[in-house]
Structure 1
């Protein structure tokens, strides 16, 4: 396959139904030369059609979640986990919380709507909007568990008497029906369900009554409190879970874009373009000026193929391209969940009600989710008939090489190569066997120097830069040094000059932010063009007394400051087998600074950072340098969410076999859980050997500072061996 340079940036703002479908289509039919970016606050997006069923308890949470990280991997897109806050149309930049702006040539907005009630006193503190769905799904899941356990009273108030409010009220009543004294109240400042056809309204009102829902029409809520709501007439209603479902509100930042809006929603024409031809919009956040329609997911789904074709055409031909028109249907099938496994179907005056309608709705919803979850394997092109000897064995039957520390050279190879080196001859260079960093002397000052360079394993240069910078600083922190300076080395894939500038701007602004926060300064660097994105940093630090691998003593407690599992998580992500929410937590762990942990552990007898050789390999490095043994209590080793499940499924990083061979001085069980001890870590935590008198105090300080730290074992008398206790 030809390696095309990148020339255009397509940015999808939001992970709504239209954009999810576009990512699937893009993976099947990519447009060479286009980099696709999807921006969303979280790694998953909830499918609204299955939300009432989830609330009622008919579905698990993962049933209604679309994994945007998997879809992005399938599409070859970068996923930016952040909230868009604005668009600078003149500079063609999209502003996102917590990161540099993102450049676009063409953008599309599919951010949905919100049910937040910013003008209702107390709602922000004590209420929860029905949209965005992800936050509501999480809060409801927690409340339901607490209510079923008897930890909170099962009192629910739904503000908003439209179809969505009615569906959710019946679903909540169904979910809580086994709990005595359950109270679900549906409130509206006007009449309930006034937007419905009279006969349909009568049927749904009857279903609400049958479900035991208390209806309170013509009631104005003026304040939401922690355990009640207050009405304009002075009365109150007990409520431990107050949901806002009163209508569809646009996100406030849209009004500052300068785009034409209708009631706050982006006005689009029949080609789904806004008043700026470079910006499209779809789904609930868009207003169809040529044929206004109510807010409903069915339109977002039907808009997707038109939007996909138009984005491809304008990216390939330019703004003069002839685009497809979207013509929405006049009516659509409405399937209203009635709490239990029953539904009401309504279209063109025809109404059917009962379990068969729910089964029909369930079939439609599951089919839609399968379309976005069942992602076909995209096979690489076949090898030519004639290739070099050994190439076929190296390529066929092997999974792609992992990125990050999973792509490093094995410890045995590295040891053999380095063993032939005579070592430093300069008096101002201190030779430390096994340590990754070098110690340089400058009079009475010690300086630590180290380098780390990673192939990109995420498409987002900003996230990749954060992780690489934290990873590179690990060797500095492991010696107890304060970061001083950094040199950056960046290899960009082939791309246009405009995109080069955009990528380098994102990378360098992020790098400066990370190093500035640690008290270090970027003093220069080097750039090049290559086959793929790679980022590296040469870093230095200053210290008074170094902490090395040599110094661990029998009786020392072994502290680990971060959970392990990044290697198997990243290997699974490459195969689209990792859960997006778990990946999000893994990324958060990787970008967590170890600076404060290093300061807390300044009196450690020996310390290292846990990276490519895995926890077992790095601990054995301490044991060999210090001529001691170690015992690990497996049950005390913190793991990243999802890591053990993936290990149990047989997922391994490509460097796992080399790590297992390198850590030959190992005694213990051979299980998926112990396999994680040999999992290569990227930007992993610190591994410290601390006096037993200091260990608990250090652990408390680490946890107070926000680290998921644990005491995982202790140092024993030699020889240098590692023993694992189940």
Structure 2
């Protein structure tokens, strides 16, 4: 048997720029055993600069220029931390991300530049920087979809500013558009005279107003005020006046040149084991202008040198070319090519540019299937069938099915004693001591995300769901952890992250952390034993009466989404939406629903399975209106492609007597296992609308999804 290689080194990529995106792909194809890879970026998507003008012009939809960092991180086996890096602590070898500290043995910066204009009054409130690209990509789609006259001003007449100006004018041709480009000097001063003439001619044909040698004094919501007193009408003002370094880099302790990180030919900074690439880096020996072509070509050297830094290998030098072919889109499907001072424009050049850009994006979206390790031969009978044809889901998707669990528990004696009351099949056990009613439950999850902080938060909220489902207030918790095999230093780092996340969730819930247990194994699992105190009678599965209304506090679909994410088939924004839903605690919802007739949290058995549990315990039936059940964004689309959690079939079989109407993907999602799901409550029908309004006012996407009925079993309509 191949020995499990322990983790001994942490590699942290700060920023999801083009070079780091390419490194992630290379790492997925050729990882260095023993290294835990981490990517830190503010969002799940990063815009590709080469296609952004095409998006502004309307040639591409919103998704086309976006690099999906969630999918890339999954392919690379990396943990993705959604947050903005704010500094480095070299003494502790940590990256500071908000309240979190991420330990590293090697690190790399690819955070790009900014077009923020702090020196211009009103820009922070009313301007949109061209870089970083994310905000412009997001806000432009909303603005372009509007109607009526459109007034746009672009501040900065370099190549990037000119390209965006022409793209905006072309993209707004369906409206009465007024587009202006403003530069404090001469427009396109860094290009050849031929290129400048071509661009100015194109701008004239698009009706763009060009203002040169004019400084900007102030930006307001509907205008740009120039230093000479002129006012330029603008409802959407873009800042594209040059590349400025990210301000927080000044506090990193790294050697800088005009705010940019100075790097050696190996791309290493002044600190050993710390690298920088892309626009945020300054190549001290071979200075070059800020351009994406250099970042792309730095990627293979960076990948090699990161491996060398972590394994004691020999580094290579990056040797940038002296010049490169500049392809500039001209608004419509035409482009200009410039190199060595010569420029030419033609529609064929746009097709060429489009082909190059799509080829680059395909590199990052068409990820190869890496073969699974070969199985030994011979094998025991049944091994192949037990492995299945897809990886086992994490979270609740990796749990034992309802049918198998019921069968295992059926033979256990359920004996009541003076202080322990059996509640067979309920969310938590009940202990009565000195008149105090205490509920107790335990739950643990196999990791479905690589980030131990995020996984801990999800697991903690999931475990607390059993307490909240009985209308109890969390009291205490103990932690049970299995860490992957790793070095003592990495154990320290990981445990620090896990306990910090645990403390934050439990403190917010009102539970004290009493301690716990940890061990090493093959993968991360996080579990909690939790107790809660009931001020009144606990709300159990039993007690629902015919006619009661059914309220659900969270949408369903996490099992399907996370199964798709493991297969790299879920869009990053959909995955992040599922994470956000799982991270919503249910404490306030529990308090609002404390008077429910019956209640449970929707977890591994799926909505149908948990509603069946209420039916069985209460001795009545239920009608579930499938169309009224809220779904997580993207869950239905993934279900329509046939994506299912590995627990789906068991949930279908274990839900008991279920009558299904038309069926289909939406119905299938009723059997989707949920992790940290919402509360399902049977409430007095006369109180349902009031409770629903209170839940929504408290921030829960709650919905009325059905009713309890006479008879037995569950009916999906």
TM range (shorter): over 0.9
- 1:577 and 2:569 correspond: yes
Q: Which of 450, 459, 480 is the aligned partner of 1:468? A: 459
What's the secondary structure of 1:170's corresponding residue?
helix
Q: Which runs of 5 or more residues in structure 2 are unaligned?
A: none
- 1:670 and 2:678 correspond: no
What is the deviation of 1:709? Answer: 1.4
Deviations 1:55-83 (CA, angstroms, capped at 9, x unpaired) = 11111121111111111111111111111
What's the secondary structure of 2:253's corresponding residue?
coil
- The aligned residue for residue 495 of structure 1 is 486
What is the deviation of 1:276? Answer: 0.6
- The aligned residue for residue 114 of structure 2 is 114
- The aligned residue for residue 58 of structure 2 is 57
What is the deviation of 1:389? Answer: 1.8
The answer to whether the 8 A contact 2:477-2:511 is kept is yes
Distance between the aligned counterparts of 1:130 and 1:606, measured in 2? 53
Distance between the aligned counterparts of 1:158 and 1:540, measured in 2? 58
What is the deviation of 1:157? Answer: 1.2
Distance between the aligned counterparts of 1:549 and 1:392, measured in 2? 39
Deviations 1:512-564 (CA, angstroms, capped at 9, x unpaired) = 11101111111010010001111100000111221111121222221111111
The range that moved more, 434-443 or 676-685, is: 434-443
- 1:398 and 2:394 correspond: no
What is the deviation of 1:580? Answer: 0.6
- The aligned residue for residue 39 of structure 1 is 40
- The aligned residue for residue 606 of structure 1 is 598
- The aligned residue for residue 224 of structure 1 is 219
The answer to whether the 8 A contact 2:123-2:219 is kept is yes
- The aligned residue for residue 421 of structure 1 is 412
- 1:558 and 2:550 correspond: yes
Superposed CA RMSD: 1.2
Q: Which of 353, 359, 363 is the aligned partner of 2:351? A: 359
What is the deviation of 1:694? Answer: 1.9
- The aligned residue for residue 15 of structure 1 is 16
- 1:707 and 2:692 correspond: no
The answer to whether the 8 A contact 1:22-1:305 is kept is yes
- The aligned residue for residue 100 of structure 2 is 100
Q: Which of 644, 658, 663 is the aligned partner of 1:652? A: 644
Q: Which of 527, 536, 552 is the aligned partner of 1:536? A: 527
What is the deviation of 1:106? Answer: 0.4
Distance between the aligned counterparts of 2:694 and 2:157, measured in 1? 50
Distance between the aligned counterparts of 1:471 and 1:306, measured in 2? 43
Distance between the aligned counterparts of 1:717 and 1:233, measured in 2? 79
The answer to whether the 8 A contact 1:489-1:527 is kept is yes
TM-score, normalised via structure 1 length: 0.97
Distance between the aligned counterparts of 2:385 and 2:578, measured in 1? 33
What is the deviation of 1:238? Answer: 2.2
The answer to whether the 8 A contact 2:194-2:342 is kept is no
What is the deviation of 1:171? Answer: 0.8
Distance between the aligned counterparts of 2:642 and 2:217, measured in 1? 55
The answer to whether the 8 A contact 1:480-1:543 is kept is yes
What is the deviation of 1:135? Answer: 1.6
CA distance change for structure 1 residues 312 and 715 in 2, over 3 Å: closer, same or farther? same
Q: Which of 411, 433, 437 is the aligned partner of 1:442? A: 433
Distance between the aligned counterparts of 2:466 and 2:486, measured in 1? 33
Distance between the aligned counterparts of 1:10 and 1:703, measured in 2? 42
- 1:275 and 2:270 correspond: yes
1:216-255 mapped onto 2 (5 Å cutoff): 216-255=211-250
1:74-473 mapped onto 2 (5 Å cutoff): 74-97=75-98, 99-147=99-147, 150=148, 153-179=149-175, 181-317=176-312, 321-395=313-387, 397-473=388-464
What is the deviation of 1:664? Answer: 3.4
The range that moved more, 69-78 or 459-468, is: 69-78
What's the secondary structure of 1:101's corresponding residue?
strand
Distance between the aligned counterparts of 1:393 and 1:55, measured in 2? 50
Greater than 6 Å deviation, 4+ residue runs: none
The answer to whether the 8 A contact 1:100-1:510 is kept is no
Distance between the aligned counterparts of 2:178 and 2:519, measured in 1? 65
Q: Which runs of 5 or more residues in structure 1 are unaligned?
A: none
Deviations 1:111-155 (CA, angstroms, capped at 9, x unpaired) = 1111112232222222211111122111111111123xx4xx411
What's the secondary structure of 2:482's corresponding residue?
strand
- 1:698 and 2:683 correspond: no
What's the secondary structure of 2:135's corresponding residue?
helix
What is the deviation of 1:370? Answer: 0.8
Deviations 1:431-453 (CA, angstroms, capped at 9, x unpaired) = 12321210110122110101110
Paired residue total:
714
Distance between the aligned counterparts of 1:45 and 1:255, measured in 2? 24
What is the deviation of 1:504? Answer: 0.4
Distance between the aligned counterparts of 2:236 and 2:551, measured in 1? 41
Distance between the aligned counterparts of 1:327 and 1:554, measured in 2? 76
What is the deviation of 1:43? Answer: 0.9
What's the secondary structure of 1:146's corresponding residue?
coil
What is the deviation of 1:344? Answer: 0.2
What is the deviation of 1:388? Answer: 1.1
Deviations 1:41-61 (CA, angstroms, capped at 9, x unpaired) = 111111100000111111112
The range that moved more, 6-15 or 429-438, is: 429-438
The range that moved more, 346-355 or 130-139, is: 346-355
Deviations 1:304-353 (CA, angstroms, capped at 9, x unpaired) = 11111111111100xxx531111110000100000100000111133221
The answer to whether the 8 A contact 2:395-2:445 is kept is yes
Distance between the aligned counterparts of 1:51 and 1:196, measured in 2? 21
What is the deviation of 1:394? Answer: 2.2
What's the secondary structure of 1:495's corresponding residue?
coil
What is the deviation of 1:425? Answer: 3.3
The range that moved more, 86-95 or 698-707, is: 698-707
Distance between the aligned counterparts of 1:271 and 1:591, measured in 2? 41
Deviations 1:610-665 (CA, angstroms, capped at 9, x unpaired) = 10010111111111111222222222211111111110000000010010111232
Distance between the aligned counterparts of 2:120 and 2:689, measured in 1? 47
